[in-house]
Amino acid sequence: MARAPALWLIVAACAVPSVAQAGDPFEIQVYDGTANAPGAPGIELHLNDWATGNRDAAPPEAPLHGQFHATLEPSLGLLPFWEIGAYLQGAVRADDGIVGWGGVKLRSKFVTPPTFDAHWRLGVNLELAYLPPAYDRDRWGSELRPIVAWQGAGWLFVVNPILDQPFAGPDASSGPSLQPAAKVARTVGPIALGFEYYATLGPLAAVLPWNEEQQQLFEVVDLLSIEGVELNLGVGEGLTASSAGIVVKAIVGYAFERGSEREPSRAAAWAPRR
């Protein structure tokens, strides 16, 4: 009988639906297989506001509801097919007014060089991350992000079938989590209009039920008319009970590419930085 309370707690915990962790609530972006020219630095500022919904979280994580994120991303092209970068993350939490550090990530991206194909771009991004427990209960983790992109006749199609693997915490033993992202966009004069899709489907070995998955669709616009400048604006809506809510995002960036090393296709067609 003395063990009964503990037994009931275990049963109750098993009966509570799991909360799907958002794929990457700081960097909401689809990589399109482009990279900085060798020796050319770049800088991006990622901003997003989890305005509504997303009120649940697995402790010690804080709910995403009301969080505002600002991430600075410096990058540097090393070779025609290799770019490195980092994410320096900050956050403001509406639940308690905390303003502080949101973690750091290091990445290494490999892509096909500009001469590979007129339409296809392939690549992979490798990432190592540390986030405070309030933003990721597993703290240490890695990302493997394959990149498949096709661009032509004013259209852009991109798929990123991301695999996320925690190194510590309760999710480390579950294996990699599937977090697909995709984008389709159409050039209309000086801008491109399109959709971006992000999801967290759970561990490959045990995909979550639909209502527990994170599924978000963003309507986005990209500025194309200023050489070297990136501006991406979007509004996203959750498609499942676990991800219901509105998220607003913006990416502002600049690539310091030297004219002699700029990819020829970028002057004639749209190629966002990621």
Cβ within 8 Å of residue 234, ≥6 positions away: 28, 196, 218, 219, 220, 221, 248, 249, 250
Phi, psi of 196 (to 5 degrees): -125, 140
- Asked whether residue 26 is domain-assigned, the answer is no
Could you give the CA distance from residue 45 to residue 25 in angstroms, rounded to a whole number? 14
Series of mean pLDDT values for 10-residue runs along the chain (274 residues)? 41 42 87 96 98 90 94 97 98 82 97 96 98 94 98 97 94 94 98 98 94 96 94 98 96 79 41 49
- Asked whether residue 200 is domain-assigned, the answer is yes
- Asked whether residue 151 is domain-assigned, the answer is yes
Q: What is the dihedral of CA 252, 149, 122, 201, to 10 degrees?
A: 80
Please give the pLDDT value at position 169: 87
> What burial class does residue 56 get, using C-beta atoms within 10 Å of its C-beta: 0-12 exposed, 13-18 middle, 19+ buried?
middle
- Asked whether residue 89 is domain-assigned, the answer is yes
Tell me the whole-structure pTM to 2 decimals.
Answer: 0.87
Could you give the CA distance from residue 128 to residue 166 in angstroms, rounded to a whole number? 10
| Domain span including residue 138 | 32-268
Residue 255: CB atoms within 10 A of its CB come to 22
- Asked whether residue 14 is domain-assigned, the answer is no
Please give the pLDDT value at position 20: 56
- Asked whether residue 11 is domain-assigned, the answer is no
- Asked whether residue 133 is domain-assigned, the answer is yes
- Do residues 242 and 56 lie in contact, with contact meaning Cβ atoms separated by under 8 Å? yes
What's the CATH code of the domain at 129?
2.40.160.40
User: How many domains are contained in the chain?
Assistant: 1
Cβ within 8 Å of residue 9, ≥6 positions away: none
- Asked whether residue 5 is domain-assigned, the answer is no
Please give the pLDDT value at position 153: 92
